[in-house]
Structure 1
């Protein structure tokens, strides 16, 4: 399954397996662990494997996540958004402004190389920002911009399985849930609901 950095950020709010919601960014240690886990997606942009999050960085990433999840909720509308934060979403215009502001914090400059055996000139983008923490939040914001402006935008969904709060990209026409375990849980809940409704109206369960 393809991984998107924006989805990984949004999914740091998740079901805790016990009826509640947990936040992977609740502590600086948790934020550091999450950043390290994204090292492959940040390769070439941020030395994620070497970073340690302090509380200021953690709060910045959380605020960016608020913006991303607000825009995800807008993207899946009119379907219901994730229940984790549906009642406290950042307004969409504020989320857009925040995302663009954070993305612009890192100046990226084009550089040209022309090596003898390359067959012609090549270009690459280099960061003019030396602070890796600024580069990190800017990279997360740009990843969200790329995600929401890409073709996967139209396939973004909020998982409707009981207790799940994830967003996911629909990979086939009949997909309703983010993963098979959520599908199993949703079908079991649906079956239980039908059984209970059948019992309530006095008829025998089918």
Structure 2
């Protein structure tokens, strides 16, 4: 499972380019559009269409992922966009693990000649669940090597988490870097208020 899908799920809360926050999962239509954009990286789903229930489940999972991302970047500041709305860490873990458990796995014993027995887990019968697949992507990300490079973008009004590509990278992208530098310039050169 591609752990970067979890980063994209968390990134559905973003700066709108004007001064506010946009939610790509807003309403059933927004969730359907986003799931359609990432469908090639999801297994075939049990949910043939996005309804209110699936929308609510994906939004709840996103909150859990963003909460765990906030914990991951600590002691640095988390994304300020929705910190006050996120579940506490323990609840986020419970939500994530419950969502991941929605897809059954089947243990399969492997025992090659001369080796010790090992167990591999494979998906159980039926179609995988969309929410379970997203939760498993989050688990893969949080236990993988990219976790240590996860950062919260400190640019004004940015809500994104990103994986730091190199040691000097400070922002999620060029536009955020430009916005942060412009804000810093303005603060330095703004007339003093009395």
TM-score after normalising by structure 1 = 0.81
CA drift of 1:108 comes to: 2.2
In the alignment, is residue 98 of structure 1 matched against residue 63 of structure 2?
A: no
Say how many residue pairs are matched: 183
Which residue number in structure 2 is paired with residue 179 of structure 1?
173
CA drift of 1:169 comes to: 0.4
8 Å CA contact retained: 2:15, 2:157: yes
> In 1, distance between residues paired with 2:37 and 2:3?
12
8 Å CA contact retained: 2:11, 2:160: yes
Q: Call closer, same or farther: CA 1:3–1:109 in 2, change over 3 Å.
A: closer
Q: 2:187 aligns with which of 193, 199, 203?
A: 193
How well do the aligned residues superpose, as a CA RMSD in angstroms? 2.4
Q: 2:72 aligns with which of 48, 72, 75?
A: 75
Pairing of 1:162-177 with structure 2 (within 5 A): 162-177=156-171
Q: What is the DSSP-based 3-state SS (H/G/I as helix, E as strand, rest coil) of the residue aligned with 1:161?
A: coil
In the alignment, is residue 150 of structure 1 matched against residue 144 of structure 2?
A: yes
**Comparing both chains, which one has the higher relative contact order based on Cα–Cα distances under 8 Å and sequence gaps of 6 or more?**
2
Deviations 1:29-50 (A, max 9, x none): 11111001112322xx2359x9
Which residue number in structure 1 is paired with residue 15 of structure 2?
15
Larger CA Rg, structure 1 vs 2: 1
Which residue number in structure 2 is paired with residue 26 of structure 1?
26
Which residue number in structure 2 is paired with residue 46 of structure 1?
44
8 Å CA contact retained: 2:101, 2:132: yes
